[in-house]
Amino acid sequence: MSGQKLDLDGYTDVPDGKVAFVVTFLEMLSAPNKPLAVERDDISLERWTAPKADAYKKLFRQVGEDWIWFGRLTMTDDALEQMLAEPTRENFLPMLNGKPVGMLELDYSNPAEPELAYFGLTPEAIGGGIGRWLMAQALDMVWARPETKRHWVHTCTGDSPQALKFYMSCGFKPYKRAIEVADDPRLAGLYSADKAPHVPVLDK
């Protein structure tokens, strides 16, 4: 949006080829005072240590293609693998019937304020309570660390319309909004043009 000034009291044109999202940041300042989900013996959580780029991007697409998640797909394989192997970053796979059905990433680069960096399920796993179970595992791990003072996450209007309500129901509270503008990943060939129809492709 070079040369354009954001109008904070009206409309600002978004150039063709770009997507714009309203981002909501949420935080949690203490551990939930009651369990989020019941224990389950049909799901397990596996640590995914130093994922390889091809396997990671494949799962990333499965989880995020309906919402055109693109952040990790624009990275080179070497850069992605180097980032995922950082000692302060932990990745996990919820496993159902021997198959990963989602992804969970926790970023402890700021030990006092860890970030829920990525959280999502594959389409076939949505709606059966796995999301709340997975969040319960994440919160147990984060708040088991004595240095944790604040846990935070962000979501946006490009994501599932259920995401914001879900995070709030788990105990996160909104504290900030921002606007994100980026190249449309569908025009870059990362996804087909029919993905995320709630964010139409603008390409004249």
Confidence of residue 202 (pLDDT cuts 50, 70, 90): confident
CB atoms within 10 A of CB 193: 12
Chain segment 152-179, per-residue pLDDT in tens:
999 999 999 899 999 999 999 999 999 9
Spatial distance between the Cα atoms of 148 and 27, rounded to a whole number of angstroms: 12
Going by C-alpha positions, the residue among 185, 179, 190 that lies closest to residue 203 is 185
pLDDT (0 to 100) of residue 129? 94
Residue type for position 51: P
Q: What is the pLDDT of residue 152?
A: 98
Catalogue all structural domains in the chain, each as residue range(s) with its CATH number: 18-183 (3.40.630.30)
- Which pLDDT band, with edges at 50, 70 and 90, does 1 fall under? very low
Burial of 27 (0-12, 13-18, 19+ CB in 10 A): middle
CA dist., res. 135 & res. 151, Å (int): 12
Residue 54 has pLDDT above 70, yes or no: yes
pTM as predicted: 0.93
